[in-house]
């Protein structure tokens, strides 16, 4: 009687990249060096296929495989590289070691 039951299942398969998810993460930084550092830190996380940080908006765009990693893991890696995220903050020592042009706190 119900013909609609199939519809939900097919939605998953519309994209070519089977598992990829897109996410945006707020990440603090200031210059082009920060952009390189943030994107490199994110891409070094296994499962991340794309990372692009917008300097003006302070937002990191991500494509990743949710079977291999999570936004949480990526945020941790970015914080470890010296950049604050919503959830995880960089250690003071790590932050202090950043070049002067990269200081984004105050």
CB of 37 to Cu ion, least distance (A): 7
34 interacts with Cu ion by CB under 5 A: yes
CB of 61 to Cu ion, least distance (A): 18
23 interacts with Cu ion by CB under 5 A: no
CB of 2 to Cu ion, least distance (A): 56
Nearer to Cu ion, 20 or 102 (CB): 102
User: Which residues, including other chains, have CB under 8 Å from residue 71's CB and lie 6 or more apart?
Assistant: 23, 25, 62, 64
74 interacts with Cu ion by CB under 5 A: no
Among 20, 31, 47, 76, binds Cu ion (CB under 5 A): 31
102 interacts with Cu ion by CB under 5 A: yes
Q: Are 99 and 37 in contact (CB under 8 A)?
A: no
**CB under 5 A: which stretch of 12-20, 29-37, 60-68, 78-86 binds Cu ion?**
29-37
Radius of gyration of the chain (CA): 17
DSSP annotation of 13 reads G
Name the strands in the sheet holding 59-64, side by side, starting at the edge strand that comes first in the sequence.
21-26, 59-64, 48-54
Q: Are 64 and 49 in contact (CB under 8 A)?
A: yes
């Amino acid at each position: 009687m119900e013909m609609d039951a199939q519809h939900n299942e097919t939605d998953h398969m519309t994209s070519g990249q089977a598992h990829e998810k897109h996410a945006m993460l707020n990440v603090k930084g200031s210059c082009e060096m920060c952009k390189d550092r943030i994107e490199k830190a994110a891409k070094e996380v296994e499962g991340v296929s794309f990372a692009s940080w917008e300097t003006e908006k302070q937002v990191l765009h991500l494509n990743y495989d949710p079977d291999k990693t999570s936004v949480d893991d990526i945020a941790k890696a970015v914080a470890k590289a010296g950049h604050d995220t919503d959830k995880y903050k960089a250690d003071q020592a790590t932050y202090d070691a950043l070049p002067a042009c990269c200081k984004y706190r105050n």
